[in-house]
């Protein structure tokens, strides 16, 4: 699937600038997470140096010898939060199922529900089968093997001296799976109470293990890249984070997946009320986004689907409140800068459409149903376009030849999917560029030219198969 490249280099911009500068201080400066804040408490890491396995003479590589990076062992006792998720009303879907069984059933198949998962042979999409579980690298002496080991599924680093055959191995558990696999998956591991990204990711497009996107250069092994709370705010429902540290969490508080309460707000009072009033048919003490203004509805999605500077942890945001107190939205994204390093800015682009501006606006949910895995967004969307554009003012739709096809494919021309060179992912097979759907509904002549050729080809094929069927 071509969209795979969206497991975008979270650090891509930093990486591009800092390529070759293999210094932690530079690399750790995740600019989009702390745009204007000074960096504090960046956890320390150490390179495994030649001295660590004396005979190895390691030449070259980005940054000379420091091409195996491991985090230092934290010195403090483990972080324990005094706040539990349930006290804040962050309940898991299991807490809704007794009364909303249908929603819970369809919801578990969505990419939101599956965007972070505990590890298992089901949730980890890359193969653990011998013969398919090894990632070789540009250095013959370095490879990774993904396998079950004791009670964990691990990424094992295997370093072998080309002459002496001395072997260094180290195993890092895949403790948390990030990504539904639409595009790919990355894996996080716990070093005591610190969360780090593992070196190897999985790319759906090629069904293969790859070096993680971003500054994970081929021929290096990096298990020391801290995972900041901002990653968690977009990919998990809740986790207690130590506000003073960059990647320190209370692991026992994790609720994986982006689930109900991230869009409906704290639900403990709702649940308590309805348990006490089983005959009540009106939902109480819970946010129904449909009852909010369009702006407030879309801000729920913008927590994670926009670009901007965050002022405060989004785990504190409540649907229905003005998002700007948490996140300063950047609504100026252009077609070129749409793909802010990791996720696209759908809200900004949508709001720049005349469809949006010349009406009272509409919600993301016009085209996206958050409660089910929509296989066919394109067709659904075409129907939504027709709600406002019944008259067929579009010359392509009126075309006698291809009009009937064009009628189902409004978005192919009016919301172009583009490969974005800014957000390329490096693999050994070459760069894979992200394919993003521009949410500015507009007139795009170049896209139309390509789509027209495609429509004509489809038409020809259909005619040929009809002729073939009735000789
Ligand atoms: C003890 C039963 C019960 C539990 C548990 C429960 N709900 Fe509800 N909920 C209801 C009832 C009854 C309604 C009103 C009827 C309906 O819309 O289904 C409702 C309605 C809602 C609504 C719509 C509110 C509106 O204004 O229309 C939302 C959203 C909602 N629930 C979310 C949740 C979430 C999220 C959870 C889990 C964290 C949850 N509920 C758990 C009983 C429950
Ligand atoms: C601002 C919110 C945000 C942050 C921060 C964020 N992500 Fe994402 N991530 C997304 C969105 C949105 C997508 C889906 C991209 C799309 O379809 O537009 C995504 C996609 C992914 C995917 C691919 C999932 C798939 O569809 O298969 C992976 C893996 C991933 N992110 C890992 C990470 C990691 C690791 C971090 C932190 C180092 C991180 N993300 C930080 C929002 C975020
Ligand atoms: C990604 C955001 C998101 C997630 C996650 C989500 N919802 Fe919703 N939900 C919405 C929106 C938006 C609406 C309003 C839809 C509309 O416009 O009709 C809604 C509406 C509802 C309603 C009211 C439906 C009605 O008839 O008015 C219920 C009940 C509900 N959700 C339950 C759940 C439950 C239970 C879960 C978890 C299993 C869940 N939702 C997960 C965004 C979400
Ligand atoms: C807390 C963060 C968060 C919120 C809130 C959120 N999303 Fe997402 N969304 C994500 C992440 C992360 C992904 C990538 C999931 C993956 O594939 O791993 C995603 C994926 C998606 C996708 C691609 C899904 C697919 O099946 O290909 C759509 C569409 C989407 N979100 C729409 C919405 C809408 C609409 C809302 C608001 C009603 C919303 N999201 C709210 C984080 C969020
Ligand atoms: C809520 C109503 C609404 C929806 C839904 C809607 N539009 Fe529009 N659209 C409008 C209005 C109003 C205009 C402005 C008309 C004008 O300027 O004469 C417009 C303008 C346009 C234009 C001209 C844009 C330009 O920059 O000149 C195109 C193309 C278009 N719409 C296509 C679509 C497509 C395709 C969809 C579905 C993906 C869609 N619209 C969904 C209301 C809507
Ligand atoms: C007029 C219909 C429409 C509206 C409104 C809309 N989207 Fe989309 N969205 C689409 C279509 C069509 C796709 C492409 C689906 C596909 O390729 O299967 C898409 C794809 C996505 C994706 C997957 C990433 C990608 O680039 O393909 C995300 C995430 C997303 N939309 C989020 C949002 C958010 C957030 C909003 C509100 C700010 C929103 N969408 C509003 C039609 C819409
Ligand atoms: C093959 C590409 C293609 C497809 C498919 C397509 N359009 Fe268009 N559409 C265009 C182009 C190009 C224009 C601009 C025509 C011009 O003004 O020269 C346009 C113009 C429009 C306009 C603006 C007309 C005006 O005069 O302002 C609307 C509205 C529109 N299309 C809606 C739709 C809808 C709704 C669909 C699906 C039912 C659709 N289009 C399918 C290419 C396409």
DSSP one-letter string for 79-140: P--S--GGGGT---GGGTTTT-HHHHHHHTTSTTTTSEE---TTT--S--STTTSEEE-SST
Report the alpha-carbon distance of residue 80 to residue 250 in Å, rounded: 5
Mean pLDDT throughout 453-470?
85
> Which of the four pLDDT bands, split at 50, 70 and 90, describes residue 28?
very low
- Give the least confident one: 21-30, 304-313, 374-383, 422-431: 21-30
DSSP string, 414-431: HS-EEEEEEEEEEETTEE
pLDDT at residue 421, rounded to an integer: 58
pLDDT tens-digit series, residues 204-248: 888 999 988 777 888 888 898 899 999 999 999 999 999 999 999
Residue 160 is assigned to a structural domain of this protein: yes
Residue 50 is assigned to a structural domain of this protein: yes
The residue contributing the CA closest to ligand 4 atom 12 is: 235
pLDDT at residue 216, rounded to an integer: 81
Residue 60 is assigned to a structural domain of this protein: yes
In the predicted model, is pLDDT for residue 118 greater than 90? Answer: yes
> Which of the four pLDDT bands, split at 50, 70 and 90, describes residue 428?
low
Ligand 7 contacts CB of residue 443 (under 6 A)? yes
Report the alpha-carbon distance of residue 339 to residue 374 in Å, rounded: 23
pLDDT at residue 196, rounded to an integer: 95
| Beta pairing partners, 51 | none
In the predicted model, is pLDDT for residue 287 greater than 80? Answer: yes
Per the prediction, the chain carries an average pLDDT of 83
Q: Characterize 282-296 residue by residue with b for buried, 16 or more Cβ atoms within 10 angstroms of its Cβ, and e for exposed.
A: eeeebbebeebeeeb
Q: Which residues have C-beta atoms less than 6 Å from ligand 2?
A: 6-7, 10, 111, 178-186, 197, 227, 230-231, 234-235, 304-305, 342-344
Q: Which residues have C-beta atoms less than 6 Å from ligand 6?
A: 298, 301, 305, 344, 346-347, 350, 362, 364, 366-368, 377-378, 381, 384, 411, 415, 436-437, 439
Atom of ligand 4 nearest to the CA of 365: 35
Mean pLDDT throughout 131-145?
92
Atom of ligand 2 nearest to the CA of 436: 18
Q: In what order do the strands lie in the sheet with 45-47?
A: 45-47, 68-71, 221-222
Which of 30-44, 209-223, 254-268, 317-331 has the highest mean predicted lDDT (pLDDT)? 254-268
Triad 37, 302, 351: Cα angle to 5°: 115
Gap from CA of 343 to ligand 2 centroid (Å): 6
pLDDT at residue 14, rounded to an integer: 27
> Which of the four pLDDT bands, split at 50, 70 and 90, describes residue 41?
low
Q: What proportion of the chain, given as a percentage, has pLDDT over 70?
A: 80
pLDDT at residue 217, rounded to an integer: 80
The residue contributing the CA closest to ligand 7 atom 5 is: 406
- Give the least confident one: 20-34, 213-227, 398-412, 443-457: 20-34
Residue 273 is assigned to a structural domain of this protein: no
Regarding pTM above 0.95, the answer is no
Residue 316 is assigned to a structural domain of this protein: no
Ligand 5 contacts CB of residue 187 (under 6 A)? no
In the predicted model, is pLDDT for residue 58 greater than 60? Answer: no
pLDDT at residue 200, rounded to an integer: 95
Ligand 5 contacts CB of residue 288 (under 6 A)? no
In the predicted model, is pLDDT for residue 15 greater than 90? Answer: no
Report the alpha-carbon distance of residue 356 to residue 392 in Å, rounded: 18
Residue 382 is assigned to a structural domain of this protein: no
What residues make up the domain containing 208? 1-72+114-227
> Which of the four pLDDT bands, split at 50, 70 and 90, describes residue 175?
very high
> Which of the four pLDDT bands, split at 50, 70 and 90, describes residue 310?
confident
Gap from CA of 292 to ligand 3 centroid (Å): 13
Gap from CA of 43 to ligand 4 centroid (Å): 30
Contact call for residues 9 and 423 (beta carbons, < 8 A): yes
Report the alpha-carbon distance of residue 143 to residue 221 in Å, rounded: 9
Which of 64-78, 85-99, 336-350 has the highest mean predicted lDDT (pLDDT)? 85-99
The residue contributing the CA closest to ligand 5 atom 22 is: 442
Residue 453 is assigned to a structural domain of this protein: no
Report the alpha-carbon distance of residue 464 to residue 304 in Å, rounded: 46
> Which of the four pLDDT bands, split at 50, 70 and 90, describes residue 371?
very high
Minimum-distance ligand to the CA of 263?
A: 3
Minimum-distance ligand to the CA of 405?
A: 7
The residue contributing the CA closest to ligand 7 atom 35 is: 385
- Ligand 7, pocket-test mutation among 355, 397, 399, most atoms within 8 A of CB: 397
> Which of the four pLDDT bands, split at 50, 70 and 90, describes residue 427?
low
Report the alpha-carbon distance of residue 42 to residue 101 in Å, rounded: 43
The residue contributing the CA closest to ligand 3 atom 13 is: 289
Residues 6+ apart with CB under 8 A from 174: 119, 124, 146, 152, 153, 154, 155, 187, 188, 189, 198
Residue 159 is inside which H or E element, if any? strand 152-160
pLDDT at residue 248, rounded to an integer: 96
In the predicted model, is pLDDT for residue 39 greater than 60? Answer: no
Work out the burial of residue 281: count CB atoms within 10 Å of its CB; fewer than 13 is exposed, 13-18 middle, 19 or more buried.
exposed
**Structure tokens given for 23:** 């210094």
Q: What is the DSSP letter of 286?
A: S
Ligand 7 contacts CB of residue 382 (under 6 A)? yes
Atom of ligand 3 nearest to the CA of 297: 12
Gap from CA of 205 to ligand 5 centroid (Å): 33
In the predicted model, is pLDDT for residue 13 greater than 60? Answer: no
Ligand 4 contacts CB of residue 300 (under 6 A)? yes
Ligand 3 contacts CB of residue 290 (under 6 A)? yes
In the predicted model, is pLDDT for residue 464 greater than 90? Answer: no
Q: Count how many domains the chain has.
A: 1
Strands (E), 182-230: 184-191, 194-197, 200-203, 208-211, 221-222, 225-226
In the predicted model, is pLDDT for residue 16 greater than 50? Answer: no
Q: What are the φ and ψ backbone dihedral angles of 240, each rounded to 5 degrees? A: -80, 125
In the predicted model, is pLDDT for residue 443 greater than 60? Answer: yes
DSSP string, 337-375: T-B-SSSB-HHHHHHTSHHHHTSS---GGGT--TTS--S
In the predicted model, is pLDDT for residue 164 greater than 80? Answer: no
Residue 124 is assigned to a structural domain of this protein: yes
pLDDT at residue 462, rounded to an integer: 87
The residue contributing the CA closest to ligand 4 atom 25 is: 111
Report the alpha-carbon distance of residue 327 to residue 334 in Å, rounded: 19
Ligand 3 contacts CB of residue 106 (under 6 A)? no
SS3 305: coil
């Amino acid at each position: 699937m071509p969209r795979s490249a969206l497991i975008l280099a979270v650090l891509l911009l930093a990486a591009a600038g800092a390529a070759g500068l293999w210094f932690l201080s530079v690399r750790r400066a995740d600019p989009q997470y702390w745009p204007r804040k000074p960096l504090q408490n960046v956890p320390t890491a150490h390179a495994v140096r030649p001295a660590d396995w004396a005979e190895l003479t390691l030449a070259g590589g980005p940054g000379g010898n420091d091409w195996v990076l491991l985090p230092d062992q934290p010195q403090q006792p483990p972080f324990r939060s005094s706040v539990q998720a349930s006290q804040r009303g962050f309940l898991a879907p299991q807490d809704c199922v007794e009364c909303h069984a249908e929603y819970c059933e369809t919801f578990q198949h969505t990419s939101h529900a599956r965007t972070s998962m505990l590890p298992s042979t089901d949730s980890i999409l890359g193969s653990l089968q011998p013969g398919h579980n090894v990632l070789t690298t540009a250095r013959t002496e370095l490879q990774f093997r993904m396998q079950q080991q004791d009670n964990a599924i691990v990424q094992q680093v295997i370093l072998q001296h080309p002459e002496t055959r001395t072997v260094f191995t180290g195993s890092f558990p895949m403790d948390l799976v990030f990504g539904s696999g639409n595009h790919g998956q990355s894996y996080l591991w716990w070093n005591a109470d610190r969360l780090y990204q593992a070196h190897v990711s999985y790319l759906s497009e090629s069904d293969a293990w790859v070096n993680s996107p971003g500054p994970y250069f081929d021929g290096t092994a990096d298990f020391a890249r801290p995972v900041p709370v901002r990653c968690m705010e977009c990919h998990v429902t809740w986790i207690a984070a130590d506000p003073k540290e960059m990647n320190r969490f209370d692991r026992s508080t994790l609720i994986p997946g982006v689930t109900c309460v991230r869009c409906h707000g704290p639900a403990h009072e709702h649940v308590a009320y309805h348990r006490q009033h089983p005959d009540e048919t009106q939902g109480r003490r819970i946010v129904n986004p449909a009852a909010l203004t369009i702006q407030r509805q879309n801000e729920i999605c913008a927590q994670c689907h926009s670009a901007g500077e965050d002022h405060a942890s989004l785990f504190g945001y409540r649907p229905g409140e003005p998002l700007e107190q948490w996140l300063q939205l950047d609504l100026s994204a252009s077609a070129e800068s749409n793909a802010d390093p990791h996720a696209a800015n759908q809200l900004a682009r949508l709001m720049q459409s005349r469809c949006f501006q010349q009406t009272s606006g509409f919600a993301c949910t016009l085209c996206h149903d958050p409660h089910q895995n929509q296989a066919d967004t394109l067709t659904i969307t075409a129907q939504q376009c027709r709600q406002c554009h019944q008259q067929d003012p579009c010359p392509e739709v009126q075309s006698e030849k291809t009009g009937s096809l064009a009628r189902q494919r409004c978005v192919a021309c009016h919301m172009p999917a583009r490969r974005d060179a800014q957000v390329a992912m490096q693999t050994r097979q070459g760069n894979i560029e992200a394919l993003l759907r521009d949410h500015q509904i507009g007139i795009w002549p170049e896209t139309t030219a390509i789509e027209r050729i495609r429509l004509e080809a489809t038409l020809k094929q259909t005619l040929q198969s009809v002729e073939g069927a009735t000789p």
